[in-house]
Chain A
Amino acid sequence: MAIYELPEWTALGPALILAVTALALFAFDSISPRSTNRQLLAGTAVAGSLTSLGVAVWFTVAGVGTPTADGGNGVIDPTHGFVVDQLALYFMIIVAVVTALIVVASYDYLVDHAYQAEYYSLVILAATGMSLMAAADSLVTILIALELASLPSYALVAILKDNRGSVEAGLKYFLIGSLSSAIFIYGISLVYGATGHLELAAIAEVVSGETEAGSGHDITEMGGLLGLGILMLIGGFAFKTASVPFHFWAPEAYEGAPAPISAFLSSASKAAGFVVLFRVFTEAFPLGEIGAVIGFDWTVAFIVLAIVTMTLGNFAAATQDSVKRMLAYSSIGHAGYALIGLAGLTADGGELVMGAAMMHLLVYGFMNTGAFLFVALAEHWGVGRTFEDYNGLAAQAPVACAAMAVFMFSLAGIPPFGGFFSKYFLFVGALEAATASTAMLVVAAVLVINSALSLYYYSRLVKAIWIEDPPATRDRLAQPTGLYAAIIVAAVMTIVILPGFGPVVDAALDAAGAVVG
């Protein structure tokens, strides 16, 4: 195919385009530091993220990274430490989509804001890191990509410098992030100590006994060390994906951050965390062999984490008064759903359940981003933060509120929206896995119970904006173009993804097939 005539490094195109865009924004900022040319800045960021999206979609459709006719696996290895396969491209698409949406929405949100160029370049820089996370396949590149995504995020959360909540949230996010990074790095060093390798494939060879550990020891003697390292890695990922036990930063950070940044963190950043999680655990610690080395299957850990994360997220969300906090906890709940993708893996399969988790992350990228952007719109209107403050918004802004109803019902997993299918497939995947391990039956049951519970608090918001009467004194609500456009696109995609679910399923199963089975 024509695509192979390009040099191999271009396979990382989606991430590189984001990097170039970020640098261009920096360059502009250094030439003209006080500029508030919003059109130019936002336009550059939008163009960059859309190009990245286009290239990622093009590569996916062109079949980059799929098995080739001559029997090779087709994975492109552009440079040491990065691979481009269908998994990487799939998540690059999610990152690019969410980035484009929130950049468009930020155009209105940042009116009168002093740090325009900084904002956009930090967002695109973080997106670059997330995009690279999707392709990283060595613990070192993973760490670097992860930090590249995290450091701009800390700054973005705190970018409303005069707002106490924003600064406090940024500080908390930074402290917990640093702690989890430290744990993550310590985990990497333990894994390195036990196996002598940092590349995922090389670690897998040591674990399965094909090659000797770097230290010359038999790997089975190092089982405890490796097991501890793996647990610490899980800790690091739990932070990035906002899962238990490192979830508690999420409500604070999301609430304090500007709402588009909350959308960015809870959709793109979470998806990026999951792609690394998926890749590391399936590639470096193959399920068939790891049990013999460290004495337990890591799926057990994920079964427990999935159950606890789902339940905690949903129960906490049900008790919130602030809409943003509710969405933050619901985001934790959805991390729990996505964890089922790892919990349901078995030594010889699990493509379906992992593919379902990926579908859910894609749909989530639209519906959750849209929901947070609606909150951004509400902040732009200045109506307040609680459910009661949202009362009767639909009477004044029916289109945006219809979109919000779509997001809420889709998050709850009700047809006819995208969230229904992805959640259903997760359920079926969990049931399929239950034939191998009965614990997955519990996971499936907890999934259903949590979905039912989630309908309560999501529909509570729909009730507030649609059914409750608006307060007597509320000014006319403006219709900012960028925010509206982003929200409507997200809503349309949440619905259109349903008839278009065939290709999504194929792409997600291909992506899962790249690392499983």
Chain B
Amino acid sequence: MMIEALIAVALIGALVTFVAPNRVAGKLAFAISLVPAAISLWLFATFDGSGNALLEGTLAFESQYEWIQLGEYSISWFVGLDGISLPLVVLTTVLTSLAIMSSWTPIDERESQFYGLVLFIEANLIGVFVALDFFLWFIFWEAVLIPMYLLIGVWGGPRRKYAAIKFFVYTNVASLLMFGAFIALVFGLGDAVTSFALPEVADAMVNGEGIQQTLFGLEPTTLASLVFVAMFIGFAVKVPVVPFHTWLPDAHVEAPTPASVLLAGVLLKMGTYALLRFNFTMFPEQVETYAIPIAAIAVISVIYGAMLALAQTDLKRIVAYSSVSSMGYVILGLIAYTQFGVGGATFQMVSHGLISGLMFMAVGVIYNATHTRLVTDMSGMADRMPVAVGILIAGAFGYMGLPLMSGFAAEYFIFFGAFGADFDYAPIFTGLAMFGIVLVAGYLLFALQRAVFGPYSLETDYEVSRAPLHDLAPMFVLLGLIIALGVAPDLIFDMITDAVDPILEGGDS
């Protein structure tokens, strides 16, 4: 019942905050958000699951109730946690609390609606990671879009309307594609499944005979490939990978800071999480078949994303494009299909969530003071905002993979796993992707050097003062977590690999 409590607190909190007076909404939302954070940490401490949720693992905090019976198929409320989803749930709840605190300064109109929507997003994000029935999962998945659309559209920057609608259209079309593909998959499995429960579908695909039915004149093997590709594209938009990435910089740049934090920190992980749960768990054969094109997409995302970041002068755009690059690493780790590859990819989801959250907060704090994000407009910011800038630099080093920070562990795992991958040319792809690290160092150091070092100057007419404590505190918490995971990756890596191993064994058989 703890998972239900987690979602219920966030949902009810969202309603309460939505109708609360504006001046107390921020504090109220923060206080409410501490409850799910505490519950999720308690779940983390008492976690007793093992194996993979979809492949006959032992679920922690499982609950299942029949919901709808229609024809041959039943739909149920089915939630539970395994080693892959639990770290992401903790990431979601912690990051939401911190994002709420970081919005106290920048959000100064319609606060109660803003914080209400943030808590509503949190509830649905948790739902995405805990749901184990396709319908339930899809409802949470889609329910994230509407509040994010409004967060960008109402509280965003000058081009917010364009960015919001672009985000909405891209992700919705992708969802439709993925939804259709999954329904085709279930029908294609025929009598092998009687519900939309993900473990049942995964079992039929991996241990059963897979797709046996001819649907609309498509042979079973063709159907399986089509479903795999359609779902991959559907999720790839969300991740995003090149060439489906163009919504991301617009959405990020226009979104208010806390929305960027959640967008980069958790929403992008929905895509990679879904890829892992669906494509990489249910279709071991197709993963093998399509290894080279997917690896190529991963490498292109890494390199192209980094090169785009190199060309930017807007700090937020730099961080946004760097997300494309970092998500490329996740895809590379997944397609490696080894314990370190897939485990490292999952680790990177958490690590990147923390680091990108930190970076967006730091950029946000600087913007609050200077009202510009252009590196060409500022210089020597370290002089006026030593603490905020210090954190920004620390975050940048996390991005570059400085040892003892989580980014290093994640990238190390991924490269280690990808070198040992089975598909052809795996070492070459990995080597190319490693070149991305050089580019990361390039664009981040280049930007920092211009913006924060050197003599102080600022093109805008704002008096720069030190950031208030409630702006800095969330960043210190994130920095602490980044270092903790960098020093002791086993905090979560053990449970991740425990959940990842069954996927790979399923693929071998």
Interface residues of A (CB under 8 A from B): 352, 394-395, 398-399, 402, 405, 409, 414-416, 420-421, 425, 428, 431-432, 441, 448, 452, 455, 459, 463, 466-468, 498-499, 501-502, 505-506, 509
Residues of B within 8 A of A505 (CB): 68-70
Contact A502 B140 (CB under 8 A): no
Task: Give the top 6 A-B pairs by smallest Cβ distance, nearest first.
Answer: A467-B153, A415-B142, A415-B139, A416-B143, A416-B139, A502-B68
Q: Decide if the interface of chain B is mainly helix, strand, loop or mixed.
A: helix
Contact A467 B150 (CB under 8 A): yes
Interface string of B39-70 (1 = CB under 8 A from A): 00000000000000000000000000011111
26 contacts between A and B (CB under 8 A): A352-B71, A398-B18, A398-B110, A398-B113, A399-B18, A402-B18, A409-B146, A414-B172, A415-B143, A416-B143, A425-B70, A428-B70, A428-B71, A428-B183, A431-B187, A448-B176, A455-B172, A468-B161, A498-B139, A499-B67, A499-B77, A501-B67, A502-B66, A505-B68, A505-B69, A509-B70
* Inter-chain CB contacts under 8 Å: number: 71
B453 touches A (CB below 8 Å): no
Contact A466 B153 (CB under 8 A): yes
Q: Which of A352, A405, A466, A468 has the most CB of B within 10 A?
A: A466
A451 CB → nearest B CB, Å = 9
Interface string of B231-263 (1 = CB under 8 A from A): 000000000000000000000000000000000
CB closest residue in chain B, given A412: B172
A443 CB → nearest B CB, Å = 14
A500 CB → nearest B CB, Å = 9
B138 touches A (CB below 8 Å): yes
Q: Which of B18, B113, B138, B153 meets A463, CB within 8 Å?
A: B153
Contact B68 A459 (CB under 8 A): no
Residues of A within 8 A of B176 (CB): 448, 452
Q: In the complex the two chains form, what is the Cα distance from A498 to B138 in whole Å? A: 13
CB closest residue in chain B, given A395: B110
CB closest residue in chain A, given B124: A416
Q: How many chain B residues touch A (Cβ–Cβ < 8 Å)?
A: 33
Residues of A within 8 A of B113 (CB): 394, 398
B299 CB → nearest A CB, Å = 33
Q: In the complex the two chains form, what is the Cα distance from A415 to B139 in whole Å? A: 5
Contact B160 A467 (CB under 8 A): yes
Q: In the complex the two chains form, what is the Cα distance from A446 to B479 in whole Å? A: 52
Residues of A within 8 A of B164 (CB): 463, 467
> Beyond A415-B142, A505-B69, is A399–B19 a contact (Cβ under 8 Å)?
yes
Q: Which of B101-123 contact A (CB under 8 A)?
A: 110, 112-113
Contact A415 B138 (CB under 8 A): yes
Residues of A within 8 A of B161 (CB): 463, 467-468
Interface string of B130-152 (1 = CB under 8 A from A): 00000000111111001000100
Interface string of B204-245 (1 = CB under 8 A from A): 000000000000100000000000000000000000000000
CB closest residue in chain B, given A355: B70
Residues of B within 8 A of A448 (CB): 176
Residues of A within 8 A of B141 (CB): 415
Contact B150 A466 (CB under 8 A): yes
B377 CB → nearest A CB, Å = 27
Q: Which of B391-436 contact A (CB under 8 A)?
A: none
Residues of B within 8 A of A441 (CB): 216
Residues of B within 8 A of A428 (CB): 70-71, 183
